[in-house]
Amino acid sequence: MKYQVILFDLDGTLTDPKIGITKSVQYALTRFNIAEPDLDRLIPFIGPPLVESFQEFYALTATEAKAAVGYYREYFTQSGMYENAVYPGIKDLLVKLTGSATELIIATSKPTIFSEQIIAHFGLSHLFKAIVGSHLDGSRIHKTEIIAYILSQLPQVAREGIIMVGDRKHDIIGAQNNGIDSIGVSYGYGSAVEIQQANPNYIAASVGELDNLLTKLLLA
């Protein structure tokens, strides 16, 4: 078996969080008197650290962006967290992977506590060895840091035996920075161009393609 451990991004890879995340961002922006009626314009917030996205896309200062994350969480914890759906075919894939004795771990920039609640909401908690995300205080928000922490907890597994699956360049770059392989999925919220330019080891355009690819890799 080529890979003993598979790291999965959450948003845009296992679940489609578009409505919940974009509405949470929309709510936060209103607190700064910014009206954004088009949720599609907020899609770029899915995946990267929120505090950086508020600064990049709406020119908030670092202090304002930190406050915006707090406002975001007001909506997200009440409603947005559950305005979400598991991509068709993902649960079957996860069950099959755990049946092959592969360990599955979630590696996400979303705070760990929210990620745990979302995975529990969808009845998937038992399929993962661990769920690792960022801290509520704004630390450990970058995928490179998150993956590094996970690897520190797996000293018995060679890096050649671990692979990261994600839909944004941050997932691929984080994997590369930690010396592990990666699969870029283009069915999420990173464009095909973004994924290709990040240069992952493999690319899957659908959950079905991801299923076939992982099956081949695990039998290699």
Active site residues: 9
* H helix count then E strand count, the chain: 9, 8
Which conformational region is residue 179 in: left (phi greater than 0), alpha (psi within -120 to 50 degrees), or beta?
Answer: left
Structure tokens at 45: 């917030």
- d(Cα 170, Cα 142) in Å, to the nearest integer? 8
Q: Which of 151, 211, 145, 219 is nearest to 181 (CA)?
A: 151
CB atoms within 10 A of CB 156: 7
Closest CA to 90 of 77, 80, 104, 76: 104
Residues 53, 58: Cα–Cα separation, whole Å: 8
Using a CB cutoff of 8 Å and minimum separation of 24, what contacts does 201-204 make?
Answer: 201/163
Rounded to 5°, angle at Cα 122 from 120 and 127:
65
Sign of CA dihedral 115, 146, 4, 216: positive
